[in-house]
C-alpha cells in the first residue's frame, strides 16, 4: 500500500473574502478521490473570523476566569462566546463549541494572524458547511470528486503534545467501521471504528507545521475513501454516551 501527501505550494496570506477553492485549484491539479486537507486557520481567515481583543467587553465571569488562569479577559470572553458548555474552567478553559468539538479555548488562538498580538482567530463558524461548500466549489471548478477535511491543532487528554484533528468534513465518512469483520484468526471485531478523518488530519498536520511554514493545505492521494457523505457529527459522542464529559461536569458541579 502506498500513500502520497503533498503540500500545495504558494498559498498566499489569506484575507477575508478569499475564495479558497479557487486558490487551491489554481495551484494543484486535483484528481478524483484526492483528500484535500485544509488548516482551519485559513478557512477562518477567509470567513473573516478575526477579532480584536480591544473590541471585546469581558463580563465579570470572564474577568474572574482570566485572573485565575493568568489569561486575557477579552480572550476568555471570546472563548465563552463561542462555547455552549464549560467542562473545565481552570487552570485552562475546556469547552464544547457550538458545533460540538470539545477542546481547549474553543480552538481560538492568536498565532499566524497579523495585528500586534491584539488579533485572535476564531474557528470557522460551521466547519462542516465550509468543507461542504469547498468540495462543491472544487467539483464545479475541476470536475473532480474530492473529499475535504478541515483541521485544527488540538491537545489531547492524558498525553502531552498536540496533533491535527478534523473539525469539519465533506465527501468522506468520519470513521471506517471494522465491526463485524474478522481479525487474523477469524474472531469478529466488536469495537474497532477507526477515526480516519482524524488520522488524515494528523498526517496533513505533519506537513503543515505550526509556525511560519505557510503551508496550510495538503493533498492526500492513494486512498479510496471518497463517499457522498457530509459532516463530522457522528464522530462526536452523543451526550448520553460521553462518560468523560459527564464525569468532568459532575466534578465541576461538586466544586
Ligand atoms: P491551525 O492548526 O488551523 O490552527 O493553523 P496553524 O496556525 O497551526 O497554521 C497551520 C499552517 O498554516 C502553518 O504552516 C502556517 O504557517 C500556515 N498558515 C496560517 N495562515 C496562513 C495564511 O494566511 N497563508 C499561508 N500560506 N499559510 C498560512
Ligand atoms: Mn488552531
Ligand atoms: Mn496548527
User: Given strand 226-230, what is the order of strands in its sheet?
Assistant: 4-7, 217-221, 35-39, 147-156, 159-172, 226-230
pLDDT at 115: 79
pLDDT digits (tens, 9 = 90+) for 15-45: 999 999 999 999 999 999 999 999 999 999 9
Residue ID of nearest Cα to ligand 1 atom 16: 214
* Alpha-carbon Rg for the chain in angstroms: 19
Which residues, other chains included, contact 157 with Cβ-Cβ below 8 Å and sequence gap of 6+?
244
pLDDT digits (tens, 9 = 90+) for 192-228: 999 999 999 999 999 999 999 999 999 999 999 999 9
Q: Give residue limits of the domains in the chain.
A: 23-254
Q: What is the DSSP letter of 200?
A: H
Ligand 2 centroid, distance to 3 Cα (angstroms): 25
Query: Does the domain formed by 23-254 have CATH 3.30.930.10?
Result: no
Ligand 3 centroid, distance to 60 Cα (angstroms): 31
Ligand 1 atom closest to the CA of 44, numbered from 1:
3
Ligand 1 lined by 216 (C-beta under 6 Å) = yes
pLDDT beyond 90 at 139: yes
Ligand 3 centroid, distance to 39 Cα (angstroms): 7
Ligand 3 centroid, distance to 177 Cα (angstroms): 28
Ligand 1 atom closest to the CA of 210, numbered from 1:
8
Ligand 1 lined by 152 (C-beta under 6 Å) = yes
Which residues, other chains included, contact 112 with Cβ-Cβ below 8 Å and sequence gap of 6+?
41, 121, 211
Pick from 37, 42, 107 the residue to mutate for probing ligand 1's pocket: most ligand atoms within 8 Å of its CB. Answer: 42
Which residues, other chains included, contact 98 with Cβ-Cβ below 8 Å and sequence gap of 6+?
82, 83, 84
pLDDT mean across residues, the chain: 96
CA distance 43 to 112: 13
**More confident position, 146 or 117:** 146
Ligand 2 centroid, distance to 12 Cα (angstroms): 18
Q: Which residues have a beta carbon within 5 Å of ligand 2, which is an ion? A: 152
Find out whether the peptide bond into 91 is cis, omega within 30 degrees of 0: yes
Please report which confidence band the pLDDT of residue 248 belongs to, taking 50, 70 and 90 as the band edges.
Answer: very high
CA distance 156 to 14: 28
Q: What is the mean pLDDT of residues 67-78?
A: 97
pLDDT at 27: 98
Q: What is the pTM of this model?
A: 0.97
Ligand 2 centroid, distance to 213 Cα (angstroms): 15
Amino acid at each position: 500500500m502506498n500513500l502520497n501527501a503533498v503540500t500545495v505550494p504558494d498559498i498566499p496570506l489569506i484575507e477575508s473574502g478569499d475564495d479558497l477553492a479557487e486558490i487551491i485549484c489554481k495551484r494543484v491539479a486535483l484528481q478524483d478521490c484526492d483528500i484535500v486537507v485544509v488548516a482551519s486557520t485559513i478557512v477562518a481567515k477567509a470567513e473573516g473570523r478575526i477579532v480584536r481583543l480591544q473590541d471585546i467587553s469581558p463580563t465579570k465571569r470572564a474577568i474572574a476566569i482570566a485572573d485565575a488562569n493568568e489569561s486575557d479577559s477579552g480572550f476568555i470572553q471570546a472563548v465563552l462566546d463561542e462555547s455552549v458548555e464549560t467542562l473545565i474552567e481552570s487552570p485552562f478553559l475546556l469547552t464544547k463549541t457550538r458545533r460540538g468539538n470539545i477542546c481547549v479555548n474553543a480552538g481560538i488562538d492568536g498565532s499566524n494572524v497579523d495585528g500586534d498580538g491584539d488579533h485572535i482567530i476564531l474557528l470557522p463558524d460551521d466547519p462542516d458547511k465550509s468543507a461542504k461548500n469547498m468540495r462543491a466549489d472544487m467539483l464545479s471548478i475541476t470536475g473532480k470528486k474530492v473529499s475535504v477535511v478541515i483541521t485544527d491543532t488540538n491537545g489531547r487528554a492524558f498525553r502531552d503534545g498536540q496533533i491535527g484533528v478534523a473539525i469539519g468534513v465533506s465527501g468522506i465518512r468520519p470513521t471506517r467501521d471494522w465491526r463485524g469483520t474478522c481479525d487474523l484468526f477469524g474472531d469478529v471485531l466488536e469495537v474497532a471504528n477507526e477515526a480516519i478523518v482524524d488520522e488524515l488530519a494528523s498526517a496533513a498536520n505533519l506537513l503543515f507545521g505550526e509556525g511560519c511554514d505557510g503551508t496550510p493545505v495538503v493533498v492526500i492521494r492513494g486512498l479510496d475513501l471518497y463517499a457522498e457523505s457530509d459532516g463530522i457529527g457522528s464522530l462526536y459522542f452523543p451526550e448520553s454516551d460521553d462518560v468523560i464529559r459527564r464525569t468532568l461536569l459532575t466534578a465541576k458541579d461538586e466544586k
